[in-house]
Amino acid sequence: NASAGSHTLRAVATDNNNATASTATITITVNAASGDTTAPSVPGGLAVGTRTASSIALSWSPSTDNTGGSGVAGYDVYRNGSLVGSPSSASYVDGGLTASTSYSYRVRARDNAGNASAQGTAVTASTLAGDGGTTGKRVIGYFTQWGIYGRNYRVKNIDSSGSAARLTHINYAFGNVRNNRCEVGITQASDPNSGAGGDAFADYTKAFGAGESVSGSADTWDQPLRGNWNQLKQLKAKYPGMKVLISLGGWTWSRGFSSAAQPANRQAFVASCIDSYIKGNLPVTDGAGGPGAALGVFDGIDIDWEYPVACGIACGTPEDNANFTALMAEFRRQLDAVRPGLLLTVAVGAGIDKIRVTDPAAYHPYLDYINVMTYDFHGAWDAKTNHQSALFDSPNDPSTGDQKLYNSNDAIEAFISRGVPAAKLNLGIGYYGRGWTGVTNANNGLYQNATGAAPGTYEAGIEDWKVLKNLAWPGYTDNTAGATWIYNGSTLWSFDTPANITRKMGYVKTQGLGGAFVWEFSGDDAQGTLTKAVSDGLK
């Protein structure tokens, strides 16, 4: 056994008469921990923190070395495949970057014996525009496929309201998961009982006129890509730093996930999603679609499975837990094979009953970030009124059991305590209220019995903020819970005001969260008041 340090070895070849034929020398270095040949664990949880026009802050979960090993010495940070830094701790600020530019990062770990791990999962981040007017936090909004109908909300409205300039990401809701495939290209009324449904017309065949278009130009009859997806592509061209993701599932279209995520179906399912949404290969319908028709629309995939193991419109199975994690791994593998930097995200339930039956510590390393749906904690399905999206617990809340933890802070803490970096978590904001009628006139209607759901424009018990703000009813604030409501003596609506959104954005900053996301744009007013409150509140 050689001692630590540099050693020169000399090899001599001789013949049978001891005559030297040739010699060769080599210098080798023996590490102090010469018996350590095992690399540290691969760094996980790579997350983006504060961004400026010229820098991006990164953090990740510390690696561990093998038992009896030489110990973790530090990390190597790679930007777009090139080594840019070697910090000793699990964080790094990459500087000297170009404004409004996207970069892909990976990190590996090194030990004191010189062993290096594989590079971890890539994360992509963009520097801010050079005007200093944005925040460094994620500002994500959902655009709904069906919003172009009764709500008369177009992709153009995201821009004309002033919201687009404040966004980092848009999620398009939704893509259906049916028969172990991403089902694309059909037009069929949605059936909550079977999960069937689709709207290729809204997605990519509807022709928008010049006045409805982001670009100001009308669609032509022979365009292979029309509809909402072409409008999103136009919006991205106007705002180059913006990313657009397809959200799969949602409440109505999630029942297919449990089967699709099973080992026998997983690989083909993921491949079908990537083929349609990332490679852009669309079924031809109504003169639109074809190979590569949607290429460049979507920058990643958002999984909105409601809910693994637990119950949404349908109930899951215990096997969903492991299958959910494995599904994330398979999406990550196939996305990286197409192009490193493609995004993979999830929208997850915020109730502890939804969180504890999955394994965030296992699945988060495959994800760029997690949208925690911190709303719909309470609604007209409850006999008593309550806050639909409280920020904190209140000692006055009469809820029992798991519902005692139905608030944003307890949801966020549940993920952090399970090993998810705070910077990977986004807080959810609803652009609507939940309402009750027949409410007992006491305590300004809060925590009181009700006879049923308040009438709503599209559905009983729910109403857009843009409608609720004009009711001019008495308004109330629960400073302990961080929640607001209005009450007229018999009907109560619980929803976030711009002021309460500002308070929640302060929480995002204080807790070091990655940002916020909103459901959904059409609930805002024509001036984008709520989206501006989210963006301004994160500065």
Residues with a catalytic annotation lie at: 306
Burial 3-41 (b: 16+ CB within 10 A, else e): eeeeeeeeeeeeeeeeeeeeeeeeeeeebebeebebbbb
Nearest to 137 by CA among 492, 363, 424: 424
Cα dihedral across residues 410, 411, 416, 421: positive or negative: negative
d(CA 64, CA 72): 7
Cβ 238 vs Cβ 226: under 8 Å: no
Neighbours of 311 (CB within 10 A): 11
d(CA 8, CA 301): 54
The CA-to-CA distance between both ends of the chain, in Å, stands at 59
φ/ψ (deg, to 5) at 320 = -60, -30
How many residues appear in the chain?
A: 539
Cβ 230 vs Cβ 223: under 8 Å: yes
Cβ 342 vs Cβ 335: under 8 Å: yes
What torsion do the CA atoms of 331, 333, 335, 336 make, to the nearest 10 degrees?
A: 160
d(CA 60, CA 526): 39
d(CA 30, CA 49): 39
d(CA 301, CA 171): 9
- Compute CA distances 439 → 385, 398, 495, whole Å: 8, 16, 16
428 contacts: CB under 8 Å, gap ≥ 6: 350, 371, 372, 373, 374, 375, 389, 408, 516, 517, 518, 519
Cα dihedral across residues 332, 338, 340, 345: positive or negative: negative
207 contacts: CB under 8 Å, gap ≥ 6: 218, 219, 220, 221, 223, 226
Enumerate the H helices of 424-480 as residue ranges: 465-468
Write out the two tokens for 429: 């904001």
